[in-house]
Amino acid sequence: MSQAVQQNRGNQAALEPLDVELQNVFKFFHQEPAVHGIDLDIKQGEFFSILGPSGCGKTTTLRMIAGFETVDAGKLLIRGQSMANVPPYRRPVNTVFQSYALFKHLSVWDNIAFGLKLQKLRKSEIQNRVNDALALVKMEGLRSRFPSQLSGGQQQRVALARALVNRPAVILLDEPLGALDLKLRKEMQVELSNLHQDLGLTFVMVTHDQEEALSLSDRIAVMNKGKVEQIGSPSEIYEQPQTTFVADFIGDTNLFVGEVVTIDAENLQVRTKTGLKIIVSRTENSPTAISQSVTVCIRPEKIQLSLYQPSVQNNFFEGKLINAMYLGTHVNYVVELETGDRITVMQPNTAGIIPDSNTSVYAWWGESDCLSICH
């Protein structure tokens, strides 16, 4: 570990206590790295999400924190204590699984009380803690039902209550809302966020759902092929992606590959392989050399469409409308520029008339609406 990383860890620990730390952690399956030297510092009380596509190593990372998988190299600490050789039931964490993992033969009350009974707590304490957990998830009236008599959302609440009743330092959420339909998933996202704020516990969630991670998290780690590509707040991840993978994976985006042809104090000009000349505002991470290869990222909602040539100096291109998809709150357009590039444009539904396919249009955006990512 570099001296700079060690110093950063020390400074951060002095400012905010950490609940979970992964230091250069590796996990191998059949001699292939599933997790490749990742570093994570998860602060006490934050909602931290690990986001990525299937097979990126996010679930393996969560299982190592839970103790269901061993760390093959590196260190894993919870509340400053090494978890090497500490079994799952000795760790101050509880996991909520996508499948809920409820005992079908036990009632709601007995499912929640199960872990407390194993600890041989007094009956009065078990009673009080189960009742408190039921109240937290608004399930007091369903304590006598069995899992088969509950909806998916109700089963998810029971699984959460069972995790919370043990009063762990960290709640681990493994794709917790993946089995729910869209409307119920949205409702549970709000409830999960409210529960986190009320309890002040540390939540660590694994998901492949970008919108879910953006809406719930204080910070997000984006993983790809066993490595962490970027860690940041939802706005940082979305507005300032550091790699083309993050830019492409998080939300919709338009990517143009090209090279830098001019640089001045405020902007740089990129010429794409198809001949587009795009002016991009400079940032501290912008390329600094002529002919440097870059990818320009422009979010669909940043692009404007007009039937007439706009009164702007830069970044306006003529094309034709290929497709318009009405989605209620907004309309998604696909526009083919004269260079053959196809771009996606998202505009709010303002009850205007949607143009027909093959209509000539102009697409345009501001210099500060695009971001250059170095290769």
Q: Which CATH number is 99's domain given?
A: 3.40.50.300
CATH of the domain at 345: 2.40.50.100
237 shares its domain with 258: no
User: 326 with 355, same domain?
Assistant: yes
Q: What is the pLDDT of residue 231?
A: 97
299-342 pLDDT, tens digit per residue, is 999 999 999 999 999 999 999 999 999 888 899 999 999 999 99
Q: Where is the domain boundary, 216, 241, 266?
A: 241
Could you tell me if 267 and 223 lie in one domain?
A: no
Lowest mean pLDDT of 57-66, 88-97, 213-222, name the range.
88-97
Residues 169 and 218 reside in one and the same domain:
yes
Any idea how long the chain is?
A: 375
What's the confidence (pLDDT) of residue 292?
92
Residue 68 binned pLDDT confidence (cut-offs 50, 70, 90) = very high
Q: What is the residue range of 318's domain?
A: 252-374
Rg (the chain; Cα; Å): 25
- Give the per-residue pLDDT at 2: 43
Domain end, chosen from 182, 213, 241, is at: 241
Cβ-based neighbours of 250, under 8 Å, separated by 6 or more: 51, 210, 214, 222, 237, 238, 241
Smallest CA-to-CA distance from 47 within 221, 249, 239, 184 is with 221
How many whole angstroms separate alpha carbon 359 and alpha carbon 369? 25
The answer to whether residue 358 scores a pLDDT higher than 90 is: no
Whether 276 and 212 share a structural domain: no
Euclidean distance between CA atoms 100 and 307, whole angstroms: 52
Whole-number pLDDT of residue 360:
93
Residues 164 and 131 in one domain: yes
What confidence category does residue 4 fall into, taking pLDDT thresholds of 50, 70 and 90? Answer: very low
The count of other CB atoms within 10 Å of the CB of residue 151 is 10
CA distances from 288 to 147, 169, 267, 281, 346 (A): 60, 45, 11, 12, 31
Phi, psi of 64 (to 5 degrees): -70, -40
pLDDT band at residue 15, thresholds of 50, 70 and 90? low
Mean pLDDT score of the chain = 89
- Structural domains in the chain (count): 2
Indicate if 305 and 193 belong to the same structural domain: no
**139 vs 318, higher pLDDT:** 318
Say if CB 355 and CB 290 are below 8 A apart: no
Cβ–Cβ < 8 Å for 206, 61: yes
Domain final position from 241, 264, 286: 241
Domain match, 235 and 98 both: yes
Q: Token pair of 7, please?
A: 């110093």
Residue 246, in any domain of the structure? no
User: Are 89 and 148 contained in the same domain?
Assistant: yes
Q: Which helix (H) or strand (E) holds 372?
A: strand 370-374
Q: H-helix or E-strand containing 10?
A: helix 3-15
Distance CA 30, CA 244 (A): 29
Q: Are residues 269 and 126 in the same domain?
A: no
pLDDT at site 9: 52
- Domain membership of residue 185 (yes or no) is yes
